[in-house]
Amino acid sequence: MKIALIGRYGEGEILSGPERVARELFDELKIKNVEVTFIEYFFSDYKDSSFVNKLLKKKHFNSQNLYRLGIIPIVIKFKKNEFDVIHFVNSQRFELLFVFLKYLFRGKIVTTFHGLMSDEIPEGQLLKNRYFLDFWIERLLIKISDELIFPSELLYDKFHNKYTLRNKFKIIPNAASSIFFDKRFTFPEIQDEIKMVFYNGIESSINRGLDDLLIQLEGVKFPSSLFVIGDAKIINSMNQNVKVNFVSPMNQKDLINFLRDKHFIVKSKTLDTFSLFVAECMTIGIIPIVHKNTGIIDYIESEINGFIYSEEKRLSELLNQITDNKYNLEYISNNARRIIDKLNWNEIALKYLNIYQTVR
């Protein structure tokens, strides 16, 4: 069976969540000796991007079976190689080419969605940065795909309410890299302050709800530090007990070292369809405190391997109870680490392989 993964592979070591998923799946399929090829485009923010390259250039990373192709080389590649399955691992505008040429390729089409465009693109900004193309590709991929993949029940429900999906979908979560798991980790004792982490991302255009989170933290009584991973910004925090620190995005090795002494990974109530970062933090042993509007709640049992808050049980109230020693945090941390038993790339790649073999 010949598999083609289509999407954005990314440059460097600091990647978005969908890029991380694409790389991890690609690497795991190769480990399993699957005949897999990754094809991406000369994206405008790549160092080697140019009009000529986008049209004519072919770049082959030999050791990885990874290709960066312009439009004409893409067509040639797919005419020479009859792939059995074409898997769009993250939604990109250049994939419109495959939509237009679908009937030239015999392979079955699988698409993984990581978010719903109407939730990610600000209202009234369809023309800005040609966002209408992203809506267009979303609709067309749903139409032409033989199987649709969603990482959570939450995202599936979002798509189900907006589109007619028929019965051609599966829910397959994302997974944490095994390098985040360390048997020697022990949950750090809370002494002078709570240390929380909030991931604000590498894409500044996406609102992850930092301002709302700070409002949620106004009632916290215990000295706390909130480490925000992402670009620094001017913030308004009324609570003197909460110190906000901005930290630049890091590669995986540096990120793991940074996270070792942290207690909690917190999420705002802003929609997050899965949160790969939460899964990675749990794998280390960091306790998740997430809103019910986060897709990874499929794998969190409140007060057992993390905490789920809501409008009824507010975040500040929960943190105050934690600092009053109401919970056994070491027990919850150890349970959080067991997420790796379910959300590891060996298991997730096997689920994808099953899709590839059975898609009709």
pLDDT tens digits, one per residue of 129-167: 677 888 889 999 999 999 999 999 999 999 999 998 877
In degrees, rounded to 5, the angle at the alpha carbon of residue 326 between the alpha carbons of residues 272 and 256 is 45
Q: How far is residue 257's CA from residue 271's CA, in Å, rounded to a whole number?
A: 28
pLDDT score for 125? 62
What is the percentage of the chain residues whose pLDDT exceeds 90? 72
Out of 25-39, 108-122, 268-282, pick the least confident: 108-122
Indicate if the pLDDT at residue 37 is higher than 80.
Answer: yes
State mean pLDDT over 191-220. 89
**Measuring CA to CA, which residue among 207, 120, 109, 121 is closest to residue 155?**
120
pLDDT above 70 covers what percent of the chain?
Answer: 97
Its pTM stands at 0.91
Average pLDDT over residues 271-295: 94
- Which residues in 276-291 are b (16+ Cβ under 10 Å) and which e? bbbbbbbbbbbbbbbb
CA distances from 39 to 53, 60, 144, 168 (A): 14, 10, 19, 24
**Residue in 270, 266, 265, 264 with CA at minimum distance from that of residue 209:** 270
Residue-averaged pLDDT of the chain: 91
Q: Do residues 265 and 278 touch, judged by C-beta distance below 8 A?
A: yes
Residue type, position 22, single letter: A
Band (pLDDT 50/70/90 cuts) for residue 122 is low
Q: List the 194-201 sheet strands across, edge first.
A: 242-247, 224-230, 194-201, 264-266, 287-291, 307-309
Distance, in Å, from the CA atom of 274 to the CA atom of 67, rounded to the nearest integer, reads 28
Q: CA-CA distance, 209 to 211, in Å (whole number)?
A: 6
Return the HEC string of 57-118.
Answer: CEEEEHHHCEEEECHHHHHHHHHHCCCCEEEECCCCHHHHHHHHCHHHCCCEEEEECCCCHH
Q: Which residue matches tokens 């986008």?
A: 54
The Cα–Cα gap between 138 and 130 comes to 14
CA angle 121/230/269 to nearest 5° reads 55
Higher pLDDT, 101 or 226: 226
Residue 224 DSSP SS3: strand
Going from the N-terminus, what domains does the chain have, and what CATH number goes with each?
A: 2-175+344-358 (3.40.50.2000), 178-341 (3.40.50.2000)
Distance between start and end Cα atoms, the chain = 14
Section 29-42 average pLDDT: 96
Among 43-52, 93-102, 220-229, which stretch is predicted with the lowest mean pLDDT?
93-102
Rounded average pLDDT over 47-60 = 93
14 has a pLDDT exceeding 60: yes
Rounded to whole angstroms, how far apart are CA atoms 302 and 326? 13
pLDDT of residue 303: 95
The stretch 64-80 carries a mean pLDDT of 91
E strand or H helix at 28: helix 17-31
Across the beta sheet with 35-41, the strand order is: 58-61, 66-69, 35-41, 2-6, 85-88, 108-112, 147-150, 169-171
126 pLDDT more than 60: no
Instruction: Show Cβ contacts of residue 354 under 8 Å, excluding neighbours closer than 6 positions.
Output: none
pLDDT value, residue 134: 87
Mean pLDDT of 53-57: 94
Burial 84-96 (b: 16+ CB within 10 A, else e): ebbbbbbbbebbe
Give residue 207's pLDDT: 82
Got the DSSP string for 286-338? PEEEEETTBGGGGG--BTTTBEEE-SSS-HHHHHHHHHTT-S-HHHHHHHHHG
**pLDDT band at residue 123 under the 50/70/90 scheme:** low
What pLDDT shows up at residue 127?
57
pLDDT over 70 (residue 297): yes
